[in-house]
Amino acid sequence: MPASRTLPVLRFALGIWVLLLAPYVRAQTSFTDPAFPAVKATFTRNSVAQPAIIYDVVRQADGKYIIGGNFTAINGIAASRLARLEPDGTLDAAYTAVCRANGTVTSLALQPDGRLLVGGVFTELGGTERAYLGRLETSGVPDASFTPYTAPPNTGGEGVNKLLVQPDGQVLVCGRLNLRGAGFPEQYLTRLNGKDGHYDPSFQFTLPTPDTSPKTIALQPDGRVLVGGYGPSYRQAILLMRLHPNGTADNTFALVKSSFTSELNALAVDGAGRIYAGGMFNSNGPGNTFLRRYLPDGTLDTSFSYPIGGQTSVIYVQTLAVQPNGRLLVGHMVAERLMANGSLDTSFLSGINGAIQRYLVQPDGAIMVAGSFRAGPGATDAVSLVRVLDTNVLRVHTSVADARTTAWPVPTHDVLHLQLDAASGPQRVQLLDMLGKAIRTIEQPTAALSLPVVGLASGTYQLQIKYAKAGQVSRRIVLE
């Protein structure tokens, strides 16, 4: 066909396609990203490749993704429980070849310098003996400077459930394993030094009842720690509690208790400080069986009504994530999104069905969905990772956040004072030297804060503020 006629024909075909899909486009504003083909994870058993699960995904500053799970191949290429993907979803072969684990990887956490914390149920990481917990360099090889004590698996322990990096760089480890040293009983929640992985004795967490087993954790912006747990049958356990930054119980928070088999798998905090808790509740009293919202003091928020539940349903919420617009992503046997009152958001992509294990909301509003599922109506093959584009998440333009970000005094001597744009969701503050090396880093900063600069050499520095809704804002700082 002559080139002069090709474009009109394509335009006509596209117009017909848009008209046919118009009802669906109006109903749903999210769709899988065609520039990121679905990632298929498999596990080979008896020479047969079976669908595998991606349990966690993190995104590096350069846009690459690191995934962990129980897989032995990604898109047919060998990858042992860990892999790195390029921004378009293709496998980073060099990194993946050296970052292998010999058992399931359940949790990942990036440190500010780009090194990766890896937790799970394994005894080797990158070919080096590491039980349950280790750290990788930015190249994917094991970091020999990170040496937490971990008792050998044959002495007990169940591995790591959740890893979190605190704003001060310390590492919270939730699971059942001994990180204190020989002769100590297993711990369920421990804090480690973020530099070398050694046990931090200043974190004073104790189990509130003998039958409480922490399963997941979440950080509040003020540094306090939310703990979600598991309670066995016919025994009283604490399902949800809050800790001070030093690990002691926050007695201003109303404990959520259970006297029958219950478990919390996921926690999330919204911009108003309200707490979403997902899992399976069998405690007496009001509230949904699988998902509840609590006010900042721990009391049940009765204005939130999740439409799915009941003792005959078994969905076990596995993951939660709050988007910048306040809507809640919920993952169980389907991927769904809720409005602020708990009602289903029908504009969210339907047809992602299976086992949803993790959401990752990117600064640009895109959503990574990890697990093992069928991605879309009519799909028959299981995939393990997709990227969803969402036009319902509005970003604050960078210029708005830039105008609302101030730093003073300039020149600076001892302390640099900052006022950030709270509405844009500040995520990280970094002070860089002229070589690009991070000199000071604050994760999850408050809107108003002070950055000590005593002892730094005089000269010019760059201040970088990362916002969830507006990307990065920079300032030139002069120290005298």
Q: What is the mean pLDDT of residues 297-325?
A: 81
Radius of gyration of the chain (CA): 23
Nearest to 265 by CA among 314, 221, 331: 331
Cα 15 to Cα 12, 18, 28, 35, 448: the distances in Å are 5, 5, 19, 22, 50
Q: Which helix (H) or strand (E) holds 26?
A: helix 3-27
CB 75 within 8 A of CB 385: no
- Give the pLDDT band (50/70/90) at residue 6: very low
- pLDDT confidence of residue 346: 87
Point out the least confidently predicted range of 12-26, 254-268, 321-335, 377-391: 12-26
Name residue 290's amino acid: F
- pLDDT confidence of residue 240: 94
Contacting residues for 93 by C-beta, under 8 A, at least 6 apart: 77
Name residue 462's amino acid: Q
How far out from the chain centre does Cα 324 lie? 14
- pLDDT confidence of residue 435: 58
- pLDDT confidence of residue 245: 93
- pLDDT confidence of residue 179: 93
Domain boundaries, given as residue ranges, for the chain: 34-390, 398-479
Nearest to 323 by CA among 338, 303, 307: 338
Question: What is the average pLDDT score of the chain?
Answer: 85
- pLDDT confidence of residue 401: 64
Topology annotation, domain 34-390: Methylamine Dehydrogenase; Chain H (2.130.10)
Q: Which pair of structure tokens corresponds to residue 19? A: 């008209």
Per-residue model confidence as pLDDT tens digits over 29-65: 678 888 899 999 999 988 899 999 999 999 998 999 9
In whole angstroms, give the CA distance from residue 466 to residue 449: 15
Per-residue model confidence as pLDDT tens digits over 55-82: 999 999 899 999 999 999 999 999 999 9
Is the confidence at residue 373, as pLDDT, over 90?
yes
Q: Which residue has the higher pLDDT, 80 or 286?
A: 80
Contacting residues for 39 by C-beta, under 8 A, at least 6 apart: 54, 67, 74, 75, 85, 89, 383, 384, 385, 386
- pLDDT confidence of residue 396: 44
Percent of the chain with pLDDT over 70: 86
Q: What is the mean pLDDT of residues 323-347?
A: 91
Q: Which residue has the higher pLDDT, 461 or 287?
A: 461
In whole angstroms, give the CA distance from residue 384 to residue 79: 14
- Give the pLDDT band (50/70/90) at residue 470: confident
- pLDDT confidence of residue 422: 86
- pLDDT confidence of residue 23: 37
- pLDDT confidence of residue 105: 98
Q: What is the mean pLDDT of residues 181-208?
A: 94
Q: What is the mean pLDDT of residues 194-220?
A: 93
- Give the pLDDT band (50/70/90) at residue 438: confident
Out of 12-21, 194-203, 278-287, give the one with best mean pLDDT.
194-203
CB 224 within 8 A of CB 245: yes
Is the confidence at residue 121, as pLDDT, over 90?
yes
Out of 64-73, 213-222, 346-355, 455-464, give the one with best mean pLDDT.
64-73
Q: Which residue has the higher pLDDT, 100 or 324?
A: 100
Give yes or no on whether 34-390 and 398-479 have one common fold.
no
- Tell me whether the omega of the peptide bond preceding residue 51 falls within 30 degrees of 0, making it cis: no
21-29 contacts at long range (C-beta below 8 A, 24 or more positions apart)? 27/346, 27/347, 28/346, 28/347, 28/348, 28/349, 28/350, 29/347, 29/348, 29/390, 29/391, 29/392
- pLDDT confidence of residue 10: 32
Q: Which residue has the higher pLDDT, 405 or 170?
A: 170
Q: What is the mean pLDDT of residues 130-137?
A: 96
Q: What is the mean pLDDT of residues 108-117?
A: 95
- pLDDT confidence of residue 243: 96
- pLDDT confidence of residue 4: 37
Is the confidence at residue 471, as pLDDT, over 80?
no
Percent of the chain with pLDDT over 90: 53
pTM check: above 0.85: no
What is the second-level CATH architecture of the domain 398-479? Sandwich (2.60)
- Give the pLDDT band (50/70/90) at residue 22: very low
Is the confidence at residue 26, as pLDDT, over 60?
no
Q: Which pair of structure tokens corresponds to residue 126? A: 């990158």
